[in-house]
Each structure stands twice: as C-alpha cells, then as structure tokens.
Amino acid sequence: MPGETGFAEVSDMLFETGEALPGAILVEFNLKPAYQGAVGMWDSVVRTGGAASTGKVVTDCDACKAAFMMVHITKAGSAYFENLWLWTADHAIDQAGGQSIATGRGLLVESTDPTWLVALGVEHNALYAYNVVNAKNVFFGLVQVESPYWQPYPPAPAGWR
C-alpha cells in the first residue's frame, strides 16, 4: 500500500502480457525502503506482446493496445533498479514474423525519495520511454531507448489520451 515502509528484492523475473490489456500497469512500486538499498529490482524483463509461455502470442492486432504502462514508480515509492529491459515486442520470440502491437508508456517516475535507475533499456512505447514527473533525487545512468518501429501509424498520441 502507498506509504508503507519495508523490504523487497525482485531479481531475475519476467513480467509479461499474453494478450491486449489496454489498462494494465505491469509493475508498480509504492514501497519506501526501510533503509537505503532495502527495495530494489534488477536483472529482470518487463515485456508486452506475449510469448509461447503465456499461452497466447499477440502477432497482429493493428493499433493494438498491449498495455497502458510498463513500470510506474509512485510518489510513495523509492528503490534501486539495475539491468532492466522494458520491451514492447516488435517481433515474436517464439515464432517467425513481425508484430503490430503498442504499449502506451514505458517508465514513469514520480518518486521524491532517492531512486537509482542504472542500465535500463526501454523500447517501442507509443507516448514515451522515460517520463519523470514532479520527482526529486532521481539518478539515471547507462540508459537506452528505441522508438516504435511502426511510426507514424498509428500516429501518437492517437488512441492513447
């Protein structure tokens, strides 16, 4: 719950959708660390588009809204993040062929407590990859971004208001 203080470590995890979920926020951090370094996420992947492991691979749904947002660090949250890949799949990983899907937003940071973002890749989101809103004490290092390959159709922000 927002405002809670505690411990959380997320390592070597895969978070993904297997179908279109236009309102989904795949990962959200609301927790304040009990002490510096007590909350973190590393060596993990957040992916939309699906794979055989989800039971459904989304390969063609023009203007498909796979998810609303990949990761949200709320005003109440704070953590250390390292080696994360937030990927809207531009190709299927378990079968041949391209995909036509879209995720609206990549990473939204609203935290006002120390937050470290190191070695991140955020790819193929319609509106933004990284967005820092009313945040403080945020460190970005070694970040990478790729715009959606399908631009300009559908042109952003069409359908994402």
Full set of structural domains in the chain with CATH: 5-146 (2.160.20.10)
Number of H helices, E strands in the chain: 0, 12
Q: What is the pLDDT of residue 134?
A: 98
Mean pLDDT, the chain, integer: 86
Confidence of residue 72 (pLDDT cuts 50, 70, 90): very high
Q: What is the pLDDT of residue 107?
A: 98
pLDDT mean over 15-34? 90
Confidence of residue 66 (pLDDT cuts 50, 70, 90): confident
Task: Pick from 47-51, 64-68, 89-93, 154-158 the range whose average pLDDT is largest.
Answer: 64-68
pLDDT digits (tens, 9 = 90+) for 87-122: 988 766 666 666 667 788 999 999 999 999 999 999
Q: What is the pLDDT of residue 20?
A: 80
Output the CA–CA distances (angstroms, integers) from residue 62 to 27, 119, 120, 153, in the order listed.
Answer: 25, 31, 28, 9
pLDDT mean over 39-54? 85
Q: Are 33 and 39 contacting, i.e. CB atoms less than 8 angstroms apart?
A: yes
Closest CA to 31 of 80, 92, 82, 84: 80
Place of tokens 């937003």: 105
pLDDT mean over 10-32? 91
Polymer length of the chain: 161
Q: What is the DSSP letter of 150?
A: T
Verdict on whether the full-model pTM lies above 0.85 = yes
